[in-house]
Amino acid sequence: MAQADTLPFDPAELGAWLAQHVEGFRGPIRLTRFPGGQSIPSWRIDAASGIYVLRRKPDGPVLKGAHSVEREARVQQALAGQGFPVPRVYALCEDPAVLGTAFYVMDHVEGRIFWDPTFPEVATSERAAYFDAMNATLAQLHGIDPAAAGLGDYGRPENFLARQIGLWSRQYLGDPEAGQDPNMDALVRDLPEMIPPGDEVVVAHGDFRCDNMIFHPSEPRVIAVLDWELSTLGHPLADFAYHAMMYHMPSKGMNGLGGLDLASLNIPDEAACIDAYCQRTGRSGIDHWSFYIAFNIFRLAAILHGIQGRVLRGTAASASARERAALYPALAKLANQTLQR
C-alpha cells in the first residue's frame, strides 16, 4: 500500500469503502498516481481481487460544474447500458467524509493509449484502420438516443452552439488583462451571426481525441472511451469537428496533423474522415463545415487566452502554461481565417 503521507486521503479508508461497495473486492491495495489528470486526479488501485481505477475530485474549492466525477460516473453507467465501450463503473461516493471529496471507482481496462495522433507505434499499413475505429466509435456515440439511455436531462437540449459561443466570448471579454486580439474580437462578433440553421442533440463527449481512448492490445479497435468530464447534451457536428480539428492543428506545439504528409503516413485525410462519419450517420454531407471547425478552434483559443491571463498574473500552475499560452494568437488567427473561408 502507498504511504499515507504521499496521498491526499487515507488509503485505509479507501480500502474499507471498497470492501463495502465493490462486489468481489479483496485487499490489500497498492495505489499509483496516474501522470497528468490535474482536473480529475486518478489512481491505479492494485488489489488482490484485480486492478481498479479511482477518479477523485481535486481538493479545495472548485467552480460550479467543474471536475464533476458524479457526471462522469453517471454517463459511463448509462452508455454501458447501450453497449458503448466505456469502463465499468463499480460505485460512486458523494460523501466527502470518506476521502475528502467525491470519487468513483471503475474497471481498469487493459489496452493501449496513443498520445501522438500519427500513431507512430503502429505499422504504417495499419494506421488507417485505427482512424476508422475512432470514427466508428464517435458515430456510435452520436447514434445513441439520450432519452433512451436515461440521459435526457444530461444538459440543456437546445441552442448548444449559441450558448457555447456566448460562454467563451464572456470568458475572453471578461479577462482584458490577458490581452485583446483583433481576430478574437472578430470571432466574438461574427460567430453568433453564422450559426448554421437547424439544431440536433446527442450525447457529446467534448474531448474526443486519440489519447482519451483505450485501444485493444493488438487490434485496431476502441475498447474504452475515457475522460467524460466535458460531456453533455450537444450538437453532433460540433463534437465531430472537435475530433477532426486535429487536421487543422499544427503538429508542433498542438499535437495535430497540420502540415504533415498524411498519404505517406497512411492516415486518412479530412475529406475521408468526413465521408466515413457521414456514411455511418446517414448524412449526405456536412454544410457549413468551416464554421464547426472555426468554432472549436475559437473555443481552444479562448481557453489559451485564459491560461495567458493566469501566466501574466503569476497564478498558472502548469510548467507548460507559458508555452501553451504563446500559441493563443496563432490559434485566434487560424479560427478567424477558417470562419471567413
Pair (233, 299) in one structural domain: yes
Pair (79, 221) in one structural domain: no
Pair (280, 319) in one structural domain: yes
Exposure string of 255-275, with b = 16+ CB inside 10 Å and e = fewer, is bbbeeeebeeebbbebeebbb
- Name the band, by pLDDT with cuts 50, 70 and 90, for residue 307: confident
Query: Whole-model pTM?
Result: 0.92
- Using alpha carbons only, give the angle 25, 229, 145 rounded to the nearest 5 degrees: 90
- Comparison of pLDDT for 157 and 140, the residue scoring more: 140
Pair (185, 289) in one structural domain: yes
- Name the band, by pLDDT with cuts 50, 70 and 90, for residue 63: low
Look over the chain and give the mean of its residue pLDDT values, rounded to a whole number: 93
- Name the band, by pLDDT with cuts 50, 70 and 90, for residue 28: very high
Pair (210, 236) in one structural domain: yes
The CA distance from 332 to 24, in Å, is 51
CA proximity to 38, closest of 316, 325, 337: 316
How many domains does the structure of the chain reveal?
2
Pair (140, 92) in one structural domain: no
Of the chain, the end-to-end C-alpha distance in Å amounts to 57
Pair (215, 317) in one structural domain: yes
CA proximity to 160, closest of 128, 190, 198: 198
* pLDDT > 90? residue 32: yes
CATH of the domain at 258: 3.90.1200.10
Is 90 within a domain?
Answer: yes
The CA distance from 169 to 190, in Å, is 11
The CA distance from 340 to 71, in Å, is 36
Is 178 within a domain?
Answer: yes
Taking only the tens place, the pLDDT of each residue in 242-262 is 999 999 998 887 889 999 999
- Residue 148 exposure: Cα atoms within 13 Å on the Cβ side: 10
Taking only the tens place, the pLDDT of each residue in 75-91 is 999 999 999 999 999 99
The CA distance from 135 to 156, in Å, is 25
Pair (176, 88) in one structural domain: no
Pair (172, 275) in one structural domain: yes
Is 115 within a domain?
Answer: no
Sequence-separated (6 or more) residues with CB below 8 Å from residue 261 = none
Is 112 within a domain?
Answer: no
- Name the band, by pLDDT with cuts 50, 70 and 90, for residue 62: low
- Look up residue 258 and give its DSSP letter: B
CA proximity to 34, closest of 44, 26, 45: 44
Pair (186, 67) in one structural domain: no
- Name the band, by pLDDT with cuts 50, 70 and 90, for residue 53: very high
Pair (48, 87) in one structural domain: yes
CATH of the domain at 72: 3.30.200.20
The CA distance from 101 to 113, in Å, is 28
| Enclosing domain of residue 191 | 124-339
- Name the band, by pLDDT with cuts 50, 70 and 90, for residue 290: very high
